[in-house]
Amino acid sequence: MTVREPAWTEQDRAEILALALYRSRLCPLHGGPLDECTSPEETGAQFSAERSTCRARLTLIEAQRAADDGKKPSPYAGARLWTVKRRG
């Protein structure tokens, strides 16, 4: 009989359960605590929104548009693999 090391230690299991519990309390829409954003508007947390741009994603969108050369995207465009790398 072969005795193998378990792939997950007790510590691993405890940590993954704690992470799952933490994530279950986060809002799937904005990523913050669910109890905050679903609290009563009159008595709960207040929010403000700001807009910024992910320049890495912007670069990707620009490259994808350039690849289509102003034409309608190829029906195979969804199969293309793109990567964005940081320069400098």
Which residues contribute to the site for Zn ion (CB under 5 A)? Answer: 27, 29-30, 37
- Residue with smallest beta-carbon separation from Zn ion: 27
Gap between the Cα atoms of 57 and 18, Å rounded: 32
- CB nearer to Zn ion: pick between 37 and 60: 37
CB of 41 to Zn ion, least distance (A): 13
Residue 34 · residue 27 · CB < 8 Å: yes
CB of 30 to Zn ion, least distance (A): 4
**Residue 29 zone, left/alpha/beta (φ > 0; ψ -120 to 50; rest):** alpha
Residues in the chain: 88
- CB nearer to Zn ion: pick between 31 and 73: 31
User: Quick check: helix, strand or coil at residue 33?
Assistant: strand
CB of 85 to Zn ion, least distance (A): 32
